[in-house]
């Protein structure tokens, strides 16, 4: 069975997201741990989270994804910004233990002129500071489109971060279809060779989740503009190959397409029909 869901708003609570995704036909979802532009997180209602855990158990959910705020930049040259990354990730990961065994996805960051070589150890340093041995959450590095000075648009960059991390057994990768396509990996016409390359450079066992998004722009455009499934340059046939690919079987897939809930419902239905 395809493990599929979409990005949801946490504003009505955790159990509500579980109910919402069930009504859309999904069995996983993603949410922001706090305002995507940064700021303080709301206090978590433990009873609400416990009700979600029961709902997930009763309905065969795949692991769910928490997404770090966009403003989090572990390789920022700005001291205050980098401090925010340390504090936010540490706090988010502590809170994630209320929802044990799920995933925390973040953007490796933007090096803003410092260069990749300087940025990669900075990212690993944040991970090594905020992760710990007994944590139950898998931390996911998201593949990026390479917009501006984004780190993580080449598999090699992600591999180097992983190599420098002390908690490798709790570290994975989330492949965003729009981002890798924008980054120059042709998942439309050469899915097998992209997955081969991922395997050679990072190892397919690290691939733990997918973000399913079509792209408003052609291959290697480094733009990061998500499109509805089948309406962009990646196209529907490629998504059929992706969600039925044996190497990707069982991974939680989250849509981050420009949709309201009814649009997500249609996309979930469509992808499940393959």
Q: Which residues bind Zn ion (CB under 5 A)?
A: 224
Q: Name the residue with the smallest CB distance to Zn ion.
A: 224
| CA distance linking residue 111 with residue 245, whole number of Å | 34
DSSP three-state, residue 212: strand
**How close are the terminal C-alpha atoms of the chain, in Å?**
10
Q: What are phi and psi of 115, to 5 degrees?
A: 95, 150
224 binds, options Fe ion, Zn ion, none, Cβ within 5 to 8 A by partner type: Zn ion
Of the candidates 225, 47, 208, 51, the residue with the CA atom closest to the CA atom of residue 142: 208
Considering the rule CB under 5 A, would residue 226 count as an interface residue with Fe ion? no
Nearer Cβ to Fe ion (15/157): 157
| CB 142, min distance to Zn ion, A | 8
Nearer Cβ to Fe ion (142/150): 142
211 binds, options Fe ion, Zn ion, none, Cβ within 5 to 8 A by partner type: Fe ion
Q: Which of 119, 211, 215, 221 binds Fe ion (CB under 5 A)?
A: 211
Q: Which of 92, 176, 214, 227 binds Fe ion (CB under 5 A)?
A: 176
β-strands 138-142, 214-215 pairing: unpaired
Nearer Cβ to Zn ion (147/245): 147
Nearer Cβ to Zn ion (157/224): 224
Of the candidates 115, 131, 130, the residue with the CA atom closest to the CA atom of residue 83: 130
Task: Please give the structure tokens belonging to residue 263.
Answer: 């649009």
């Amino acid at each position: 069975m395809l493990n599929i869901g979409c990005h949801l708003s946490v504003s009505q609570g955790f159990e509500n997201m579980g109910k919402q995704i069930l009504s859309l036909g999904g069995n996983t979802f993603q949410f922001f741990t706090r305002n995507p532009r940064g700021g303080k997180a709301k206090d978590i209602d433990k009873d609400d989270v416990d009700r979600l855990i029961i709902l997930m158990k009763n309905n065969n959910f795949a692991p769910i994804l928490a997404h770090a705020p966009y403003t989090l930049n572990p390789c920022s040259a700005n001291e205050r910004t980098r401090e925010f990354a340390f504090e936010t990730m540490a706090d988010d990961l502590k809170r994630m233990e209320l929802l044990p065994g799920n995933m925390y996805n973040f953007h490796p960051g933007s090096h803003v002129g410092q260069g990749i070589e300087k940025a990669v150890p900075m990212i690993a340093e944040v991970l090594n500071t905020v992760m710990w041995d007994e944590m139950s959450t898998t931390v996911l590095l998201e593949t990026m489109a390479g917009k501006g000075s984004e780190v993580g648009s080449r598999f090699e960059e992600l591999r180097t971060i992983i190599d420098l991390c002390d908690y490798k057994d709790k570290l994975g990768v989330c492949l965003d279809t729009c981002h890798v396509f924008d980054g120059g990996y042709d998942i439309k016409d050469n899915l097998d060779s992209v997955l081969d390359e991922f395997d050679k450079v990072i190892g397919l066992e690290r691939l733990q989740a997918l973000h399913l998004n079509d792209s408003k722009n052609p291959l290697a455009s480094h733009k990061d503009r998500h499109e509805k499934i089948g309406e962009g340059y990646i196209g529907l046939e490629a998504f059929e190959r992706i969600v039925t690919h044996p190497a990707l079987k069982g991974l939680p897939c989250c849509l981050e397409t420009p949709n309201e809930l009814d649009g997500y419902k249609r996309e979930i239905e469509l992808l499940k029909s393959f």
